[in-house]
Structure 1
Amino acid sequence: MYKRKAAGGVLSIFSSDLLYYQPSLAYYYLHHHGSALARYLCHRRRHVRSDCACAPSEKRAASCSFPNPSVSTNVKLSAARTIKAGETFDGKNLRYGRGVKCGGQKEGGTKDAVFILESGATLANAVIGTDQNEGVHCQGPCTIRNVWFEDVCEDAITIRQSSGTSTITGGGAKSASDKVVQHNGGGLVKIDSYCVQDFGKLYRSCGNCGTQVKRQVQISNIIARNGKLLAGVNSNFGDVATIDQDELVHQPDIGVRHVPGQQQGRRADDADQEHGQRQF
């Protein structure tokens, strides 16, 4: 099923298999069990139904102008840098890495991250280079603001909070063969004013974590180019993906896929990751 909110042109998807957006037709195609069900929904420009009550959303334009700091200022970390609870780290738009070659889709762990954010921590104004594996790990609710990933390795951002809200605002990610944001914990993830290019999934709710819970994601003001899915969520756990299409710029065949996650199984945590068990 789907749910349409009255204001702001916001669409919440609960349990359809795949969502396609066709701007030229102002249609959303929901494919369920191989059959197409077309619903004419609220469109952000001219094709607006009288009962839709769409209203302009706040303008927070995403940018795909990836910064390119001088190589001479690169920061190579010998170990993951931890940002303590409640603290803010301003990366001053420098490039950060670990001085290692990307291991591809071989699952890593928190120790392989560039930054580890404790509960309530903020990482701002940083470029994550190609010489790393695990990007940024949030151990609790965190804020990631204007952080750019030049070449995503396994994942760019891993969310491990048990509850609460993590916010990813501004910045962007390129060349993610699989996922940009991996949501392993609970709660809500907000992704706003973000640019993603050449990617598999912008967001994925973990499908094989040992402890499975309902997860939520809100996606707004996104520029998405050459990708497969904006969000992958688990229908059998009640995950909710909410997309504000008012400022959504993407190719027609990027949408939301709902797939059943595993009900049981050994937790794909750091111990499992050391043995190569991938999260999906």
Structure 2
Amino acid sequence: MSVAGIPAVRSEIATSMLAHMSMAAIGMTYTTLTLVLNYILSNGSALLRRSCRHRRCSRPYRRCRSFRQACRQLLVPNPSALTNVKLSAPRTIKAGETFDGKNLRYGRGIKCNGAPDVGTPSPVFILEPGATIANVVIGADQQTGIRCLGPCTIRNVWFEEVCEEAIILRQTSGRTTITGGGAKSAPDVVVRHNGAGVVDIDSYCVQDFGRLYRSCGNCSTQVKREVTISNVIARNGKLIAGVNSNYGDVATIDTKTNAYTSVTSVCDTFRGTNNGNEPVRLTQNQSNAK
């Protein structure tokens, strides 16, 4: 019986299952076999998800085909505009709380080139220490996406377009995790690390970007900062990570699990400043591991 015309993923599942049928199964009537195949095809997505779980992705969709395909095409969830949420002020997620955005689109109704706030542009979300945000799409009508005041968890958050920066981290210590999701059309920085501590970026997609991660180059208070970057798919960008070597910054980048297309540099080091002057780049696209 031919399986021509079956979509690629479902065809692969059907072929695999047919190959393991017993000889008794081959003797089934045409009608019964058709019913079996129809079940396989109608449940193809569920079977693929089970396949991912069987491979024991240690974090959501880390090595699963569905995630990597989504990354390659940057398939940002596209909720209906009828459900858009426009916030007149930043939404604060309290310490220890988890906010599930239900994959709705959130914004501020502010044009990127509009008049900025006095001082630092106000974000769409403010996360207090220990807060978690998940399953959110941040639209283009904002100047800054998320500001974390302490260690926070950002899970499956997508940025349709980045203005100033997608994420600003101001923790004085501790660890922030950014898992799943991604950003596109980010001319400057996706993750700006202005505080201290450690940032983990895992299973993330980024496209048409300036820098995925940047340790603040000219903050008035400078400290050692660390970042780990793994399972990232990056396309059409300038820099994966920029760190200040004179302040002891460390970037650990797992290039074996990352995939780059048209990315100029993986890691650059800078001589950071604390007097407002622009930092000076020291090395470009070099591993400085000892």
TM normalised by structure 1 equals 0.71
The 5 Å alignment of 1:1-80 reads: 60-61=62-63, 62=67, 63=71, 64-80=74-90
CA contact (8 A) 1:147 1:170 kept: yes
1:247–1:229 distance in 2 versus 1, CA, 3 Å: same
Q: Once superposed, what is the RMSD of the aligned Cα atoms?
A: 2.1
Shift of 1:259: 0.7
Question: How far apart in 1 are the matches of 2:118 and 2:237?
Answer: 23
Please tell me whether Structure 1 or Structure 2 has the larger radius of gyration of its CA atoms: 2
Q: Which residue among 167, 170, 179 is the counterpart of 1:160?
A: 170
Q: Is the 8 A contact 2:155 2:179 kept in 1?
A: yes
Q: Partners of 1:104 and 1:204 in 2: how far apart?
A: 25
* SS of 2:144 mapped into structure 1: coil
Q: SS in structure 2 opposite 1:236? A: helix
SS in 2 for 1:254: strand
Cα distance in 2 between the residues matched to 1:142 and 1:227: 26
1:84-124 deviations in Å (ceiling 9; x for gaps):
00000000000000001013897975661000000000000
Q: How many residues align?
A: 210
Match for residue 246 of structure 1? 256
Report deviation, 1:245.
1.8
Q: Does 1:102 align with 2:112?
A: yes
CA contact (8 A) 2:178 2:200 kept: yes
Return the structure number with greater strand share. 1
Q: Structure 1: where are the runs of 5+ without partners?
A: 1-56, 268-280
Aligned-residue sequence identity (percent) comes to: 66
Give the drift of 1:266.
6.0
Contact 2:121 2:143 in 1 (8 A): no
SS at match of 1:220: strand
TM-score of the superposed pair, with normalisation by structure 2: 0.69
Q: Are positions 1:213 and 2:200 aligned together?
A: no
Question: Hey, what does 1:203 align to over in structure 2?
Answer: 213
Distance 2:208 2:246 in 1: 29
User: What is the CA distance between 1:265 and its match in structure 2?
Assistant: 1.9
Letter in 2 for 1:256: C
- Which residue number in structure 2 is paired with residue 257 of structure 1? 268
Measured in 2, the distance between the counterparts of 1:196 and 1:108 equals: 29
Map 1:226-241 onto structure 2 (within 5 A).
Answer: 226-241=236-251
How far residue 128 of structure 1 moved from its aligned partner, in angstroms, is 0.2
Give 1 or 2: higher helix fraction: 2
2:106 maps to a residue whose letter is Y
Q: Which runs of 5+ in 2 are unaligned?
A: 1-56, 278-290
SS at match of 1:112: coil
Q: Distance in 1 between matches of 2:115 and 2:195?
A: 20
Partner residue in 1 for 2:147? 137
CA distance in 2, matches of 1:232, 1:82: 29
The letter of the residue matching 2:271 is: P
Q: Could you say if the C-alpha distance between residues 107 and 193 of structure 1 is closer, same or farther in structure 2, counting changes exceeding 3 Å?
A: farther
Identify the range of structure 1 (183-192 vs 61-70) with the bigger mean alpha-carbon deviation.
Answer: 61-70
Shift of 1:71: 0.4
Q: Kindly tell me: are residues 155 and 109 of structure 1, through their superposed partners in 2, closer, same or farther at Cα, counting changes over 3 Å?
A: farther
- Tell me the CA shift for residue 213 of structure 1: 0.2
